[in-house]
Amino acid sequence: MSYTRIVSFTAFMAFCLLVCLAFGTTSASAKDSRFMVIASHTPEDCLKTLDEANAKGKKFLGQFEWGCMVGDHTGYAMVEAKDEASVKSMLPASMQSAKIVKINKFTADQIKSFHEKK
């Protein structure tokens, strides 16, 4: 392979990587589904739940938004995973009863087709 072809190929691959990063998708994550995690806990278990989430690491803790400061003792997160079981395995013990919902987005064309089928 000539030097020019190698440089062209490398530039093309770099461009593809940049496009994937710009649109938030790569071949690995494209296979994953998105899930909403709703993990409620009692006021009494609040600190324990926060400690367990913190122990899972900065990335895990950073995925969650918490309602605890306003009396809604719930952690909310959007995560990407292969399936519901994979999501559950990510969660610490205090969050094992979390509601896990597979979510997706709809396009305007999909919504239009729903109306046409009705």
Output the tens digit of pLDDT for each of the chain's 118 residues: 455 555 444 444 444 444 444 444 444 455 799 999 999 999 999 999 999 999 999 999 999 999 999 999 999 999 999 999 999 999 999 999 999 999 999 999 999 999 999 8
Q: Is 95 within 8 Å of 39 (Cβ atoms)?
A: yes
DSSP H helices, 23-69, are 27-30, 46-55, 58-62
Cα separation, 105 vs 95, whole angstroms: 26
Contacts of 96 (CB under 8 A, 6+ apart): 88
Domain architecture of the chain: domains with CATH: 1-31 (no CATH), 33-118 (3.30.70)
Q: Answer yes or no: pTM beyond 0.85.
A: no
| pLDDT (0 to 100) of residue 80 | 95
Q: Given strand 64-67, what is the order of strands in its sheet?
A: 64-67, 72-81, 33-40, 99-103
